[in-house]
Amino acid sequence: MIVELIIASLIGIIVGAFTGLSPAIHINLVAALLLANIDKFSFTSPLALALFIATLSIAHTFIDFIPSILLGAPEEDTALSVLPGHKLLQQGRGFEAVVLTQYGALMGIILSLVLTPIFILFLPSAYQAIKIAIPFILIFISLYIILRDKPPLTAFLIFSAAGILGLLTFNSPIEIKEPLLPLLTGLFGLSSLLTSIKSNPKLPAQKIRPLAIIKPTKKEFLSTIKSAILASPFGSILPGVGSGHAAVLGSELHKSTPRTFLLMLGIINTSVMALSIVTAYSIAKTRTGSAVAIQQLLNKIELSHLIIILLAILLSSILIFIISINLSKLFIRTINKINYKILNLSVLGIVILINILITNWVGIIVLILATILGLTAVNSTTRRINLMACLILPSIVYYLIH
Does residue 401 lie within any of the structural domains? no
Domain count, the chain: 1
235 or 369, which is more confident? 369
94 or 240, which is more confident? 94
Domain boundaries, position 340: 2-396
Per-residue confidence (pLDDT) for residue 23, from 0 to 100: 59
59 or 355, which is more confident? 59
Cα angle value 321/245/328 (rounded, 5°)? 25
Does residue 229 lie within any of the structural domains? yes
Does residue 402 lie within any of the structural domains? no
Q: What is the pLDDT of residues 257-285, one digit of tens each?
A: 888 888 888 998 899 889 989 999 998 88
178 or 274, which is more confident? 274
Q: What is the pLDDT of residues 313-326, one digit of tens each?
A: 999 999 999 999 99
